[in-house]
Amino acid sequence: MVNHLLLNRILTILFLISIPILSSVGPTQEAAKRPATLQPAETRPFRLPFLDPPGPSTWLLGQAYGNTTGAYRQRRIIYEAGQGVHFGVDLSARCGTSIVAIGDGVVTKVDALAHGSAPHNLMIDHANGYASFYGHLLERPALEAGQAVQGGEIVAKVGDPDGNCASRPHLHLEIRNAGVYNQAFNPMLLIEADWDSLALVGPFGAGFARDLSDPRRWQGLYDQPEVHFWGPILNDYPNPWPIDWNP
């Protein structure tokens, strides 16, 4: 009986000692997981490209930026130019939904063939060194190169890459380096929005491909790689998941 009492006392003491240790370690570990490049919402320079809030009757996050499973499977087809990753963010909405400029800027390109995203597209340069690119537009924007636009101003309409407004209407939004356009950056680091909540719902999901040799790499919304167009493929994994059925 004495031994059991002594054992219980020892366990109780160890438990009480561990409480402050655990409470101090937890936040530190969580802080370590946060991406160093993620800026507080008030410092992110851009707004969302829609006037209405997200919802089933307005718009949803379709596909995140980065090494998504969809981009990985087509890394040497559709996404070869972007080093094998999805170099923008897809926002699903009905055809004809109004798109607004994500910040003040100057139109530099309208329907530029070099940037794809048919049937129509738009490029706007911003004074902070970034450019925003809007793809899969319903019609040619009624704008001209050199025209100034304001953040929140309607500049285009959502279209469908298949041109039928039935298969997968969405806005493909990129943020590039202004003037040169040979780099793409993660819009989720630069656009003020609750991306974590937006990623909970959407037709494509937010899954990222894994390299099982380094399974935690590029698994969050905010730790995805920057893209240097026509650079080497970033995700030719020797041991991928999902299984690579389209090498």
Residue 86's identity, in one-letter code, is H
Other beta carbons within 10 Å of 125: 19
- The DSSP secondary-structure symbol of 152 reads T
Per-residue confidence (pLDDT) for residue 85, from 0 to 100: 96
Q: Do the Cβ atoms of 89 and 159 come closer than 8 Å?
A: no
Q: Do the Cβ atoms of 100 and 46 come closer than 8 Å?
A: no
Is omega for the bond preceding 54 within 30 degrees of 0, making it cis? Answer: no
Per-residue pLDDT tens digits of the chain, which is 247 residues long: 444 444 444 444 333 333 333 233 333 333 333 333 445 555 899 999 999 999 999 999 999 999 999 999 999 999 999 999 999 999 999 999 999 999 999 999 999 998 989 999 999 999 999 999 999 999 999 999 999 999 999 999 999 999 999 999 999 999 999 999 999 999 999 999 999 999 988 655 558 999 999 999 999 999 999 999 999 999 999 999 888 765 4
Residue 192's identity, in one-letter code, is E
Per-residue confidence (pLDDT) for residue 11, from 0 to 100: 40
Per-residue confidence (pLDDT) for residue 202, from 0 to 100: 63
Q: What is the set of domains in the chain, with CATH numbers?
A: 47-241 (2.70.70.10)
Per-residue confidence (pLDDT) for residue 246, from 0 to 100: 54
How far apart are alpha carbons 125 and 187 in whole angstroms? 15
What value does the CA radius of gyration of the chain take, rounded to a whole number of Å?
A: 23
- Does the reported pTM lie above 0.85? no
Phi, psi of 193 (to 5 degrees): -170, 160
Beta bridge partners of 46: 191
Per-residue confidence (pLDDT) for residue 110, from 0 to 100: 97
Q: How many CA atoms lie within 13 A of 62 on its CB side?
A: 19
**Nearest-CA neighbor of 133 among 84, 95, 183?**
183
Alpha-helical (H) ranges within the chain are: 2-33, 69-73, 195-198
CA angle 129, 153, 96 (to 5 degrees): 115
CA dihedral 39, 79, 61, 34 (to 10 degrees): -30
